[in-house]
Structure 1
Amino acid sequence: MGGASDRRDGQSGAAGGASAADRPDKVRNVVLVGHNGAGKTTLVEALAQATGAVNRAGRVEDGASVSDHDEIEQRQQRSVQLSLVPVEWEGIKVNVLDTPGYADFVGELRAGLRAADAALFVVSAAQDGEGIGGATRLVWDECAAVGMPRAVVVTHLESALAGFEETAAQCAAELGGDDPDAVLPLYLPVHGPAGPDGHAPVTGLAGLLSQQVFDYSSGERVGAEPGPDLLPRLQEARNRLIEGIIAESEDETLMDRYLGGEEIDVKTLITDLERAVARGTFHPVLAAAPAADGARQGLGTVELLELVTRGFPTPLERTPPPVTAPDGSPQPPLECDPEGPLAAEVVKTSSDPYVGRISLVRVFSGTLRPDDTVHVSGHGMEDRGHEDHDVDERVGALSSPFGKQQRPVPSAVAGDLVCVAKLTRAETGDTLSSKDRPLLMEPWQMPDPLLPVAIEAHSKADEDKLSHGLSRLVAEDPTMRLEQNPDTRQVVLWCLGETHADVALERLRTRYGVQVDAVPHRVSLRETFGAAATARGRHVKQSGGHGQFAICDIEVEPLPVGSGVEFVDKVIGGAVPRQFIQSVEKGVRAQAARGVALGYPVVDIRVTLSDGKAHSVDSSDAAFQTAGALALREAAAACRIHLLEPVSEVGVMVPDAYVGPVMSDLSSRRGRVLGTEPAGPGRSLVRAEVPEIEIGRYAVDLRSLSHGTGRFSRHYARHEPMPAGLATKLRQQAEEGEHTR
């Protein structure tokens, strides 16, 4: 690490990925983070090739590619799900977790962060790329908050517009925060002769600590001494790196010795560097590029593997998540011990057309073996369509994924990642533990899905399969929420964005054979009376034998917002027999629930039964229910009906630079801005009340407005009268048949 050695041939991996680890200290779990197009998947392929897991053509033994993806990813040319690629380097199993870079799939990213012990932030050096990006900076800050070790990998060095040193400086400035000297390069690119276009390709790397050059131009890593023209450039960067390492050293005498002119031993520097990286206080910047055609090692792959295996922490150095019993009672903290109690977590769920459900599991304690019976606990996600559940299930085969292949493994020790087959009840986020000692892990933070997508089955055949398909879809993706809205009678999928929604509907079609159509989403409006009214409900029918006879007179008056529906009996002299008073009330309330104008529930009224008539033979419960409903409809026809719309409390968290535009945008949505407050360094929280009909697409619009750096929350506050103009428009649409319930 740091260019300390020139002995790295990269031939330590086993073809087809890594075997199962037998000890936690032989495992490294690393998640790749970066915006879409930064080169994460290409980097995974380069690491697999450098370790010998794939051949020089990038294929595993049977011809499959480590980067083979499902049909959706191939069609969209982007990653939409978390994927695991295990490789082996010098006897260490490295579980590389590749995450989607698109904001709609941040749930997959958070699952990767949960499963990993360290993060590699992949940043494009091409000046026409997105660079670091606001969303990447947010993830960096989240990792910093929990002390997760991080490093930066600069990609796209082959681009004519690439600038490694400029990108490294940008990383130090934007990611280093108050300490930019904690984000520094370990190597500098070495350029070969310029081509006809004037571009000088990167052919190697110069180690700043060892002051050696590692040339990759032959397709193999070859050590050499730097030329005299390179030494001045190296020395300046080397001095800054040494100062940065010493500043993070636990040896407080090291800085004084260095400032006194003492030459610090390279081995001491590397040891301190590795400790600082593992503690999460120093963040190296490295460079990487894919291997050329026919070459085995891509530029920087060996250096990156050295950093991961030597500098990143083992699972033993990371504290497992807190646990309780399923009933919430406290339990002792876990340790990463293969002999300890079993505690594992499902970080991803997917379906294979041949194998069935496959659960990607991180084992935090104990050892997981095939055919074990485990306890599956899932709690705290009922609001997203995941009912609390505690069941015992038998573990199927354990396997290690590689591309589309699943290779059997005998067991998974604490700290390792493994795929488990046939856990039919386990969902993403569930805890697997011993059936004799059930545990429940504290869930990781998941973003709230705030983009509603209303769907309908395309045909009767699809309608029969819809419920099953939706339940399996939601089980795989906890960032998606399923709602069956009783007011609008719509089935609504709440998603993180438009692409998230598109992928969900595509998966319903291709994976579960359910074709659905997206329809306009309707908010839950309410109706109320604009003035007092009186009416008579008359239900009289005679057709031989027993007839139907019920007459009731009612008075309706509006009440304050939030009052609901009140029913008052003021009948005098038994005009309506006592046994039918409740019948009238049932009819009134049933009609109020159905609506009297546009089919939305009626609220905030008092209905007073003042008089009526009954027949000794023909009156019945059903007749008076019908009369009560007719009376409410007649009263509504005699006065103006107002529409009430739901209003949400909205909290928008954005960088300070976007506070003004966000407030203006909320005001344009008929929102009332309540104020702002600090929400951390350089960020503010804008609070407002906004009609829900105005924020149906706010998840998409805010991302565009804030360049991916804004987040918001919404909570129902109350219903308020809708502006007359908008209400009139809805009525006109209803009359024209354009607005359907």
Structure 2
Amino acid sequence: MGEKTGTSSGAAGRAAAADRPEQIRNVVLVGHSGAGKTTLTETLALATGAINRPGRVPDGSTVSDYDEIEHRQQRSVQLSLVPVEFDGMKVNLLDTPGYADFTGELRAGLRAADAALFVVSATDGIDGATRMLWDECAAVSMPRAIVVTKLDGPQADFAATVELCREAFGGENPEAVVPLYLPHLHGSPGPDGTPAISGLIGLLSRTCYGYGTGVRTETPIESELDPEVDEARGRLIEAVIQESEDETLMDRYLGGESLDIKSLIDDLEKAVARGSFHPVLAALPPAEGSKQGLGSIELLEIVTSGFPSPAEHVFPEVTTPDGKPRTDLSCDPAGPLAAEVVKTTGDPYVGRLSLLRVFSGTLRPDSPVHVSGHGLADRGHEDHDVDEKVGAISSPFGKTLRQIGQGIAGDIVCVAKLSRAETGDTLSSPADPLVISAWEMPDPLLPVAVQAHSKADEDKLSQALARLVAEDPTLRLEQSQDTGQLVLWCMGEAHADLLLERLRSRYGVQVDPVPYVVPLRETFARAAHGRGRHVKQSGGHGQYAICEIDVEPLPTGSGFEFVDKVVGGAVPRQFIPSVEKGVRAQLAKGVHAGFPVVDVRVTLVDGKAHSVDSSDAAFQTAGALALREAAAEAGIRLLEPVADVQVLVPDAYVGTVLSDLSARRGRVLGTEPLESGGRTVVRAELPELEIIRYAVDLRSLSHGAGQFSRSYVRHEPMPEALAAKALAAAKE
């Protein structure tokens, strides 16, 4: 690049606007926690005039991290939108959290964006999660560029970081990962080895872009290029030629012909837009009193010129509510309305806020819309098929909501007070309702059991949890039928802490975490006989019922069987169902540790009744007593749930994962390398008692690069030592 000098047209305090989709660029910033995404977002906002001092908007809030919890934790925990203007374009910068617990926010950013900036720290390298995310973007051909940050950090090395990016992101074509600029160094490195960088050298334009004055200056390089710079320029030109549609370029270049720089830049931009070429750029925040950070203008140029507009983005799958495909939609402001809620937040002053990506049509204030979606009923999110009315439309910036006149196709806007719409829902015209296919949402795998701190908290808890669920599609809320516990299924410990803090600070509800109870089962250790006698006389009609049963264990998974072998009418016909009902009720409550009893056959063999005092209730009680007596004679075995677990990890961690699974009493079923290479799926059966915290432990084992899924298979007997501990804990 470097041939263009874009002009910033934003102004502090004014909402960026666009009239056509071609004037919009939606860009998501991704990278590991601490890579510098938020700092880079603020640097670009300052360079375009969207803010008037580093990190602050005119209302005094920060640019992107506006949640009070983020201020306390000093890290991003949610997706934030920062719209800026540059060179006549509206650029929606989507800043995402880098911590793995907040992957749901990252997924929302990817859904709303048309291109991605991978932010890589020159001092921290690239983690496994970022590598996997690159592969996901590659699978859908999302355009990507790489920004190297923290070049002023200790021992930072731009060239070494570029090589790391080529190794991590290059795949089968590492030549497609190549820098457009090289840092211009001056003076000697500091005591800690930090290089002194005064500007950037444009490899195509042979120009030095200086930032020493706080505003970019351009100085043509008249003399011969440094051999290192000349070599980098040659690699860049060859990489661009490889992506060019002009098949004569390579022969002309090798023949010594001087190529037109403008044509090369055009080819480069086209390759970036189609996702086959990935330029590497450098960026530093501005010095004190400066408006432009090093590399900020160059980065904005590649965003506006190289990244595609929403009109060039692949349109998501759309159907009618009854499932009929709609293929007639495009990114047309005059087309049918199709917008998607990519994020939902609660504000104590304005209520629910919905961040929308408008894919088709134009969203206008005070207009009726149809809300459809969204297929997450298993997580406590009900499906919607209702009409609502849109209120004011705004563009969020820090804590400020800047009101705008409309949201056109391709834009990202905010709408307040949509009472029913949740993340993942579709907004369309009531006369032409549509459903946009849901994006893949990560499965929460860390259970956190909670209970209300007080009676006052209990009264408010249900409504607060409903609001929390509406905001966070990665949260699964469960009221366990087996244990009665209220369980929040979370992405990790940081996610759980955030949810509990939001309950307290945002909704005024205090809850206490309690130990999570795995839903065990009981079964009989051997066959036994039981006699239930329920005889009471207290004036008037008494209660009289006696029954005798035989109980025998059945193979795992057989369930419950009830057999009637009463002869001679010892138990009248009308009371036999009563005995079964009492037995079933006792099975559900358990007979020893309070866990349901399964896989037994109960045979009613004898009993006695009274012509006046026998009743349905009396025989239910007798049946339950008989089962308890038989259990005391036979003894109880505990059954634990076993899950089928599939672990996806880089090949380097397969041995570590296998050893860990064995230590958790796992049975490894096999390993399968992925065709894409570099990663392996490990399949195993694992007791659920051993994977309560596996979401946290696997992240540590694989340095953030592993992920897993689980599905229930069966219950099977626990080892005696563990069963004894579980029984003792249940009694306590």
In 2, Cα distance between equivalents of 1:68 and 1:592: 53
Q: Does 1:173 align with 2:167?
A: yes
Deviation at 1:80, TM superposition (A): 0.3
Shift in CA distance, 184/17, structure 1 to aligned 2, threshold 3 Å = farther
Amino acid at match of 2:704: G
Amino acid at match of 2:451: E
In 2, Cα distance between equivalents of 1:196 and 1:610: 92
Superposition pairs for residues 437-516 of structure 1, below 5 Å?
A: 437-516=432-511
Verify the 8 A CA contact 1:3 1:206 in the aligned structure 2. Answer: no
Aligned match of 1:237: 232
In 2, Cα distance between equivalents of 1:704 and 1:59: 35
Deviation at 1:604, TM superposition (A): 0.5
Aligned match of 1:140: 134
Q: Does 1:523 align with 2:518?
A: yes
Aligned match of 1:542: 537
In 1, Cα distance between equivalents of 2:227 and 2:655: 47
Aligned match of 2:684: 688
Secondary structure of the 2:314 match is: coil
In 1, Cα distance between equivalents of 2:544 and 2:432: 66
In 2, Cα distance between equivalents of 1:233 and 1:589: 81
Aligned match of 1:92: 89
Q: Does 1:379 align with 2:378?
A: no
Aligned match of 1:669: 664
Aligned match of 2:391: 396
Verify the 8 A CA contact 1:18 1:93 in the aligned structure 2. Answer: no
Q: 1:74-106 CA distances to partner (integer Å, 9 max, x unpaired)?
A: 111000000000000011000000000001111
Verify the 8 A CA contact 1:529 1:557 in the aligned structure 2. Answer: yes
Q: Does 1:318 align with 2:313?
A: yes
In 2, Cα distance between equivalents of 1:268 and 1:412: 35
Amino acid at match of 2:164: Q
Secondary structure of the 1:512 match is: coil
Alignment match of 2:122 (pick from 122, 125, 132)? 125
Q: Does 1:611 align with 2:606?
A: yes
In 1, Cα distance between equivalents of 2:716 and 2:498: 35
Secondary structure of the 2:334 match is: coil
Verify the 8 A CA contact 2:152 2:195 in the aligned structure 1. Answer: no
In 2, Cα distance between equivalents of 1:397 and 1:298: 35
Secondary structure of the 2:557 match is: coil
Verify the 8 A CA contact 2:59 2:400 in the aligned structure 1. Answer: no
Aligned match of 2:571: 576
Listed as ranges, the gaps of 5+ residues in structure 1 are none
Alignment match of 1:192 (pick from 181, 186, 191)? 186
Secondary structure of the 1:165 match is: helix
Select between 439-448 and 274-283 the one with higher mean Cα deviation. Answer: 439-448
In 1, Cα distance between equivalents of 2:55 and 2:144: 27
Aligned match of 2:265: 270
Verify the 8 A CA contact 1:68 1:404 in the aligned structure 2. Answer: no
In 2, Cα distance between equivalents of 1:675 and 1:17: 58
Deviation at 1:30, TM superposition (A): 0.1
Deviation at 1:443, TM superposition (A): 0.8
Shift in CA distance, 664/200, structure 1 to aligned 2, threshold 3 Å = closer
Superposition pairs for residues 206-221 of structure 1, below 5 Å?
A: 206-221=201-216
Aligned match of 1:416: 411
In 1, Cα distance between equivalents of 2:20 and 2:138: 28
Aligned match of 1:50: 47
Taking only aligned residues, the RMSD between alpha carbons, in angstroms, comes to: 1.3
Verify the 8 A CA contact 2:79 2:94 in the aligned structure 1. Answer: yes
Q: 1:143-185 CA distances to partner (integer Å, 9 max, x unpaired)?
A: 0000000000000112232111111121112211111110100
Secondary structure of the 2:645 match is: strand
Aligned match of 2:716: 720
Aligned match of 1:431: 426
In 2, Cα distance between equivalents of 1:622 and 1:76: 58
Q: Does 1:62 align with 2:59?
A: yes
Select between 219-228 and 528-537 the one with higher mean Cα deviation. Answer: 219-228
In 1, Cα distance between equivalents of 2:194 and 2:583: 81
Deviation at 1:670, TM superposition (A): 0.6
Amino acid at match of 1:626: T
Deviation at 1:373, TM superposition (A): 0.8
Aligned match of 1:644: 639
Verify the 8 A CA contact 1:20 1:411 in the aligned structure 2. Answer: no
Verify the 8 A CA contact 1:376 1:431 in the aligned structure 2. Answer: yes
TM-score by length of 2: 0.98
In 1, Cα distance between equivalents of 2:352 and 2:30: 26
Q: 1:645-704 CA distances to partner (integer Å, 9 max, x unpaired)?
A: 000001111111211111111111111101111223121111110000011011111111
Superposition pairs for residues 328-343 of structure 1, below 5 Å?
A: 328-343=323-338
In 2, Cα distance between equivalents of 1:733 and 1:63: 53
Secondary structure of the 1:638 match is: helix
Aligned match of 1:703: 699
In 2, Cα distance between equivalents of 1:235 and 1:19: 40
Q: 1:208-236 CA distances to partner (integer Å, 9 max, x unpaired)?
A: 00000011000010111337485333211
Secondary structure of the 1:664 match is: helix
Verify the 8 A CA contact 1:111 1:348 in the aligned structure 2. Answer: yes
Verify the 8 A CA contact 1:21 1:412 in the aligned structure 2. Answer: no
Aligned match of 1:595: 590
Deviation at 1:4, TM superposition (A): 1.4
Secondary structure of the 1:652 match is: strand
Amino acid at match of 2:141: G
Q: Does 1:163 align with 2:157?
A: yes
Amino acid at match of 2:150: H
Verify the 8 A CA contact 1:87 1:93 in the aligned structure 2. Answer: yes
